[in-house]
Structure 1
């Protein structure tokens, strides 16, 4: 088979994958005690046919928690719970990495120690809601991390990576996307600091790069990946010049021998060279591809045809798939055999609940 066949094996860093598809990280909120349950074990086991699973976002500390029923990787009980998941995935022939996560300001004082305010790069509040035990509520306005606190948070990322390896994960992904803490440092719509972590693009990218270096040193760069979302504004986290900040970030990450960089493209054409149609952005995923010489994983509304095109052109070395894997756990198997997919699940079941709409989808009929 051709190496460009999406169903052929591929190696990303230290990860030897059975195919060119990754399961994108997707919060499903099925861990009410912050520890993976039996249903979580089964959910990931069912999806082990994907070349590499990126776990749902997993908090690195109590401070990094922002919503109900999301799992952590900072206690012995959580490590043991995740070990059950990784053992099940490996027994099914799969590979899995842990997405390590600090939500920053996307939180509520109800989830913080002694009811304190969440932290962020700056004390910049946004129009943001989150799920608490009392329902969907506006986030508590954040306070700025003090300069002397930043090394402590970087250490939490480093320790979370070590905990993930102890839990049996094959590696980690640093969640630097989607309006969470690292993104809050990157973007000037939130970051109003006047010290070495604010102001210039170089300063705003410092936190991302220091976290990346700490994690890579702890577990190996070839077991470390980073996720960025340059083309979207999530949780009211914006930037006045995203092209400049993400061009700098990608150039700096290119200097580090990561397993891969994942870029969330959303609805952009991954092969586009021009967005001069009245859109607000003046750069494309293709522009960032030119800057990154390592393994790139593209994410955003891909189907099999667009995945083939992106792989064949060299735009990406692999493609991450999200919501289709919610409804069809064996998506890769069925696509390779041209079998029909399950109907999409109701959004009602995306977040929270029990097995319904989570790990009860019918498998493909046996051949």
Structure 2
């Protein structure tokens, strides 16, 4: 467990909102003024989870960090917005979270209410709130967001609000099936966007492509087809050495065929998702983010190129742009979610 250095106490007498971005390895926290007026600067902290800790210990660590941040703010916190990558059912229970499996069965809603007693609480999928933040940053009320990282997440914002909305599930863009005979996904299906475009999937494919270029045409087929995804992840079994992100990025930037093929295949999968979402929702903008995508210069341009190629006459896909908030989009979205929960109190009706 570790936290960032916190600034001196600020915000005395100023109402604030707390944003919490919960991840599989760490949590980011930020308190900002609730009202959009000249006010103290935000206060922030970071909690790094202990490996394989039980849920009770995680909750204890989270509560300690929230309490410390509340002391630093020194003003009332009226609402809490939480970005959560796991699945939370309508009763407020965590039903699944591969990143922290010990949380399965945790009474998540009750836990949140205990962090800041009396505050209004709102939580949503981290992809949903990232979309909310990117829509706000772009000044665009109708946005689809696709985040490419260890997995593929996403979110939809329509008329300035997350869709389908808190308590009604999330926009599982990464589990849209785009290839019925595609590679297996961790969810049990085949051909999900995530199974093709995620960082690990791209690295596995890059390793196979690189192996094929390193041997003669006669041996390439044997070398490539004999390798499984597990072989590549183990880093070299089956005659193929794994590819890490640094190698992939270098190969992509240098124009190496194996890297370009792997990345462009992922970009094409994301483009299919963009075009499919455009057909359903007609958003004004499609935003591509996530750590993996952000780390590959030109990835978003490749997505846009593929999307334009999939357009049907008279129905162009939504313009595709790179995320502007980077790794902060989910945290920014969490604070926005908290503010939206307070709108009846802060925004006059009509």
Which one has a bigger Cα radius of gyration?
2
- Assess same fold via TM > 0.5: no
- Indicate the structure with greater helix content: 2
TM-score (normalised: structure 1)? 0.30
TM-score (normalised: structure 2)? 0.31
